[in-house]
Amino acid sequence: MNIAFISAIVPVVLLLIFIYRKDKGQPEPLGKLILTFFVGCLSVIPASLMESLLMPLAPTAESMPVLNGLFTGYCVAGLSEELCKLLLLMWVIWRSRHFDEYFDGIVYAAYLSLGFACVENIGYVMQGSDPMGTALMRGLLAVPAHFLFAVTMGYYLSLAKFDPSGRSKHLWRALLYPVLLHGTYDALLMVSSNLGGSDSTFSTGLTVVLFIAFVWFDIKMWRWGLRRIKRMQERSREHDFDRRHPFDGFIWNV
């Protein structure tokens, strides 16, 4: 098997194992996880169609490099990909009997998003002029970014599932926050790339600032993501305790 192909898949597999091992309460059925992953692989199709419809609306990179990067990052990539992921995720798990604790939303969202990232990563790596270099950079940045967008989506999807009174609010957040994270991630890279060809001192300085902002943003995303994972693990334990010990609170109060 081609080494570039393997290198494109490895970071996806590592993150799949990572989030599966975090699900310590009631691990999800392997068959359901595999189905969710492959639905994520297929989500590339509607996302690509939506992107192809929005891309002609983008300002030109030559005349408006900043606006082009912002529109492409937030509207073309962020909105198209995260909306398709969320709709398919809800179709797969919302009414599933296996979606029965808080942490499940993050697990299923991660599997679906990593399915998307897997197909996208294979495409970039296999078609690039430097497959191994592309695989390394995307394995360190792009694939984990899709994972972190999914953590945020799954976090709010679980809140929507188990908090009916705030369902609409949480569902909007399950879309809005991943779009903002995804859009910011892509926009920082795209604006920087658009300005990279300019020889002006201002453009060079702005590119450096954008790179620093990107590194800071990536670190913050990891911190946010790990905090949300920990928070949902705690909620799942509390939820599981309430289900298994329904009279403990009553006895304690008596």
What is the secondary structure of 26-70 as a DSSP string? SPPPHHHHHHHHHHHHHTHHHHHHHHHHHGGGSPPTTT-HHHHHH
State the pLDDT confidence band at 19, using cuts at 50, 70 and 90: very high
Question: Quick one: average pLDDT of 239-251?
Answer: 46
Confidence at residue 102, expressed as pLDDT on a 0 to 100 scale:
95
Q: How far is CA 131 from the centre of its chain?
A: 23
pTM: 0.90
Confidence at residue 236, expressed as pLDDT on a 0 to 100 scale:
87
Whether 149 is in a domain gets the answer yes
pLDDT of 245 above 60: no
Tens digits of residue pLDDT in 31-62? 999 999 999 999 999 999 999 999 999 999 88
Whether 233 is in a domain gets the answer yes
Question: Quick one: average pLDDT of 113-137?
Answer: 93
Whether 252 is in a domain gets the answer no
Whether 160 is in a domain gets the answer yes
Confidence at residue 158, expressed as pLDDT on a 0 to 100 scale:
97
Confidence at residue 250, expressed as pLDDT on a 0 to 100 scale:
33
The mean of the pLDDT values for the chain is: 90
pLDDT of 18 above 80: yes
Question: Which has the minimum average pLDDT: 105-114, 133-142, 188-197?
Answer: 188-197
Whether 253 is in a domain gets the answer no
**Largest interatomic CA distance in the chain:** 76
Whether 205 is in a domain gets the answer yes
pLDDT of 73 above 90: yes
Whether 254 is in a domain gets the answer no
Confidence at residue 81, expressed as pLDDT on a 0 to 100 scale:
98
State the pLDDT confidence band at 242, using cuts at 50, 70 and 90: low
E strands, 160-211, where? none
pLDDT of 67 above 90: yes
Question: Quick one: average pLDDT of 173-195?
Answer: 94
Q: How far is CA 183 from CA 30, 54, 177, 180, in A?
A: 32, 14, 10, 5
pLDDT of 240 above 70: no
User: What's the structural domain count of the chain?
Assistant: 1
Percent of the chain with pLDDT over 90: 77
Whether 143 is in a domain gets the answer yes
pLDDT of 84 above 80: yes
Q: Which domain holds residue 79?
A: 3-240
Rounded-to-integer distance, Cα 230 and Cα 103, Å: 9
